[in-house]
Structure 1
Amino acid sequence: MPFDSDSARRLVDAYLSAWNLEHRADRDAVLARIWAPDGRYVDPRADVRGRAALVDLIEERRAARPGARLVVTSVVDLHHDMARFAWHLVAADGSPQPESIDIVQVDPEGRLALVVGFFGPLAATATTAG
């Protein structure tokens, strides 16, 4: 399956929709289509492998922030079998949270094999006067 801009954006949209769905069964159905059997999700607070573990993690995160949703805030930038995109969490009251970035890798069938999440903006480096 070719991994191009259109397929990458559809994959990212489906992936984030899984995080935004209220019902576990709906979330699992979306991930069944787009998640590799041994897919891995890693962020600063989690490292899980497999669809069931990801569904459990999403359930836990949604319970901690009822009514929140994830929103893509950038283009999906890609090369080879890798892509990156920015997103932020929008709280139930509509307030945006800090922007974050995910880097993803797809398997030969075009399913998510790896998602690496980084929360918040990168810190600027200190500059020294010359």
Structure 2
Amino acid sequence: MTSAYQATVERYVRFWNTGKPDEQQELAAETFTDDVRYHAVIGVFTGRQALIGFHDQFTGHMTDAVFQRRGEPQFHHDRGRLLWEIEVGDGKSFATGTDVLVFDADGRISEITAFLDRAPEGFDPHAHH
């Protein structure tokens, strides 16, 4: 199943980087379950459309952001760990983090817990609920 999880992670990274609505919808359907839950410091989002909305809100403010892996993801059982970095502009690091992914029986992501390893400059974790 690891190869299926690896393919899902590749789609996950592409999802966060696409700006094309049709491709975004297609990637979301292939990558996430209908009721995927995303847990982050800034809030909890449920469902593919909520993730798309979060993506669009973020990229609306950070139009040149690039989400990328920091090394190979790790997997065991139905879990994965992805270390990531967001770069902006000409490769300036904006933030780094770790996403813990839970996969369903079909290899799609059913839950994401996002941790900030290095928050963006000026980020106030207490400003979010």
What's the TM-score once normalised by structure 2's chain length? 0.86
Q: Does 1:12 align with 2:9?
A: yes
Q: Which runs of 5+ in 1 are unaligned?
A: 122-130
Shift of 1:9: 2.0
1:29 aligned to which of 26, 30, 48: 26
Displacement of 1:85: 1.3
Answer whether contact 1:38 1:113 (CA < 8 A) is retained: yes
Q: What is the correspondence of 1:1-130 to structure 2 with a 5 Å cutoff? A: 3-4=1-2, 6-121=3-118
Residues 21-70 of structure 1, C-alpha deviation per residue, up to 9 Å, x if partnerless?
A: 01222111111111101111111102111111111110001111111110
Once superposed, what is the RMSD of the aligned Cα atoms? Answer: 1.5
- Percent identical residues: 21
Q: Which residue of 2 aligns with 1:124?
A: none
Structure with the greater alpha carbon radius of gyration: 1
DSSP-derived class of the 1:59 partner? helix
TM-score normalised per structure 1: 0.85
The change in CA–CA distance for 1:46 and 1:76 in structure 2 (over 3 A counts) is same
The alpha-carbon distance between structure 1 residues 29 and 47, as it changes in their structure 2 partners (threshold 3 A), is same
Instruction: Kindly indicate which of the two structures has a greater share of residues assigned to strand.
Output: 2
